[in-house]
């Protein structure tokens, strides 16, 4: 299945992709795609609902709806830095010997095609296409051998970054990663059976039609079982938590000279089997 959500009447509504052009409104299922849903065997219950009452649920064309983040805001967005050797090299860093972990504020959560709002004072807003993993059940001290059984599915994530706030002065990664609209997620969460080999997915990103990133998950330094197991030894992973697994080479910081996002830029990105996103960059000064 491909789970998604859309905005109508000022509210988020759960939905499921029927095909590439339409979704079924799953409001009648009675539950959002949140921690309780994943913990409570929600995917199996949703499949049963789709085979019964869901057959009568409204169908909506994708060009008629605004997609929301594909799942409800998680308790944690956990990100992995420098997880592609080519990206580590372009930033001048040594590929790490163990996962580099940082957090991203959940207030950055937004829909796949929402506007990117360049933060007030930002001069170095950057892009990062990433494969995201969503946890399906509570995980503590998980072995690598069993780690994939804790995965609910996969999605596309753009890990936007403000490089000056992240790296310069007293910069900190979480500070540079957490501005509003810095975590577009979706267009859908794909259950593992939809994907095939998650270790062989092309991921790409363009700015104003110019390809900037073109990589493959086969080049991940630390694969998904390692990441789930590793993180579960340092914190409890809750159902619906998101792990963003890192980005390949081609970020603005790595260009010579560096290139950063300006108002009016159009950022498009995608991953094989996980759809695409499109964001228009805007600049909004605030009091």
Run means of pLDDT, 10 residues per run, the chain, 287 residues = 95 96 96 98 97 94 96 98 87 88 98 97 97 98 98 98 93 94 98 96 98 96 98 98 97 95 98 98 74
Residue 274, both tokens:
């996980």
Phi, psi of 187 (to 5 degrees): -80, -10
Query: Peptide bond before 46: cis, by omega within 30 degrees of 0?
Result: no
Percent of the chain with pLDDT over 90: 92
Predicted local confidence at residue 31, as pLDDT: 97
CA dihedral angle for residue 102, residue 99, residue 207, residue 275, rounded to 10 degrees: -100
pLDDT in tens, 199-255: 999 999 999 999 999 999 999 999 999 999 999 999 999 999 999 999 999 999 999
Predicted local confidence at residue 285, as pLDDT: 63
CB under 8 Å to 193, separation ≥6 — which residues? none
d(CA 127, CA 251): 6
CB under 8 Å to 146, separation ≥6 — which residues? none
Check residue 286 and report its DSSP letter: -
Predicted local confidence at residue 287, as pLDDT: 45
Predicted local confidence at residue 205, as pLDDT: 98
CB 127 within 8 A of CB 160: yes
Stated pTM of the model: 0.96
d(CA 151, CA 237): 11
DSSP line for 23-57: EEE-GGG---SSHHHHHTTHHHHHHHHHHTGGGGS
């Amino acid at each position: 299945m491909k789970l998604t959500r859309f905005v109508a009447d000022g509210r988020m509504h759960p939905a499921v992709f029927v095909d590439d052009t339409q979704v079924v409104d799953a409001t009648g299922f009675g539950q959002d795609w949140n921690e309780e849903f994943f913990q409570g065997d929600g995917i199996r219950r949703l499949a049963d609902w789709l085979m019964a009452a869901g057959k009568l649920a409204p169908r909506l064309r994708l060009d008629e709806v605004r997609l929301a983040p594909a799942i409800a805001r998680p308790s944690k967005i956990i990100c992995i830095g420098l997880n592609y050797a080519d990206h580590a090299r372009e930033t001048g860093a040594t590929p790490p010997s163990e996962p580099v972990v940082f957090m991203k504020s959940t207030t950055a959560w937004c829909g796949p095609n929402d506007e990117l709002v360049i933060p007030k004072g930002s001069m170095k807003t950057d892009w990062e296409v990433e494969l995201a993993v969503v946890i399906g059940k509570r995980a503590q001290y998980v072995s690598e051998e069993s780690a994939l059984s804790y995965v609910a599915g996969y999605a596309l994530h753009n890990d936007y970054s403000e490089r000056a706030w992240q790296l310069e002065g007293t910069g900190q990664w979480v500070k540079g990663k957490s501005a509003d609209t810095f975590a577009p997620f979706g267009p859908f969460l794909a259950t593992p059976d939809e994907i095939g080999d998650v270790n062989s997915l092309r991921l790409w990103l363009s700015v104003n039609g110019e390809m900037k990133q073109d990589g493959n998950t086969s080049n991940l330094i630390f694969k998904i079982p390692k990441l789930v197991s590793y993180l579960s030894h340092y914190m409890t992973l809750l159902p619906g938590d998101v792990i963003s697994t890192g980005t390949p080479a081609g970020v603005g910081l790595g260009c010579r000279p560096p290139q950063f996002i300006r108002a009016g830029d159009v950022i498009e990105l995608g991953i094989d089997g996980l759809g695409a996103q499109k964001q228009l960059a805007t600049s909004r000064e605030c009091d």
